[in-house]
Amino acid sequence: MIDQLFVAFGGQVCQFDYEGAELESLLTFLFSKMVVPDVGDNQLCARYRIRSEENSWCLFGEGMSKQTFDHINTLGSFLSGDVLFRLIEQNEGHLAIHAGLVSRRGKSLLIPAESGSGKTSVTAWLTSMGWCYHTDELVLIDLQHGDHHAFSRPLNVKAKGLIAIQELVDNQIVSADSRRVARQAAGISMILPSIFSRNKPVEEQQSIPPIGTIIFPKYSTAEPPHLSRLSAAAAGLELMRSNVIARNLPGHGFRDVANLVKKTPAYSLRYSHFKDLAPLFSEIFCEW
Three-state DSSP class for residue 172? helix
Strand partners, 271: 219
| Same-domain pairing of 41 and 110 | no
In this prediction, residues 57-62 reach a mean pLDDT of 91
Is the pLDDT score of 174 beyond 70? no
Q: What is the pTM of this model?
A: 0.92
Domain's final residue, options 33, 62, 88: 88
Residue 233 to residue 230: CA distance in whole angstroms: 8
Q: What is the DSSP string of 181-244?
A: TEEEETTEEEE-GGGGSTTS-----SSPPPEEEEEEEEE-SSS--EEEEPPHHHHHHHHHHTEE
207 vs 272, residue with greater confidence:
272
Instruction: Give pairs for 169-177: CB < 8 Å, separation 24+.
Output: 169/195, 169/196, 170/195, 170/198, 173/198
Of 59, 88, 117, the last residue of a domain is 88
Same domain? For 83 and 121 the reply is: no
Same domain, 142 and 254: yes
Task: Name the domain count of the chain.
Answer: 2
Cα gap 42→47, rounded to integer Å: 13
Left if phi > 0, otherwise alpha if psi is -120 to 50, otherwise beta: which for 63?
Answer: left
> Which residue from 237, 238, 274 is spatially nearest to 120, judged by alpha carbons?
274
Examine the domain organization and report whether 149 and 255 are in the same domain.
yes
Q: What is the distance between the alpha carbons of residues 145 and 127, in angstroms, rounded to a whole number?
A: 27
Tell me which H or E stretch contains 123.
helix 119-128
What is the crossing angle of helices 72-88 and 21-31, to 10°? 50
Residue 175 scores a pLDDT above 60:
no
Report the pLDDT value the prediction gives residue 54, as an integer from 0 to 100: 84
Same domain, 39 and 7: yes
Domain end, chosen from 88, 116, 137, is at: 88
Task: Give the domain range for residue 173.
Answer: 95-285
pLDDT at 194: 85
Instruction: Clarify whether residues 227 and 257 are in a common domain.
Output: yes
Are residue 51 and residue 105 in the same domain, yes or no? Answer: no
Instruction: Kindly report the average pLDDT of the chain as a whole number.
Output: 89
What pLDDT is attached to residue 204? Answer: 62
Q: Domain check: are 10 and 65 in the same one?
A: yes
Please give the pLDDT value at position 264: 96
Q: Are residues 144 and 279 in the same domain?
A: yes
Based on the domain organization, do 194 and 237 belong to the same domain? Answer: yes
What is the spatial distance between Cα 208 and Cα 285, in angstroms, rounded to a whole number? 18
Band (20; pLDDT cuts 50, 70, 90): very high
pLDDT tens digits, residue range 132-146? Answer: 999 999 999 986 777
Cα separation of 100 and 131, whole Å? 12
Q: Which residues contact 36 (CB under 8 A, 6 or more apart)?
A: 6, 7, 8, 13, 42
Q: Mark whether 203 and 259 lie in a shared domain.
A: yes
DSSP letter for 274, please. G
The b-or-e profile of 11-38 (16+ CB within 10 A means b, else e) is bbbbbbebeeeebeebbebbbeebeeee
Same domain for 167 and 60? Answer: no
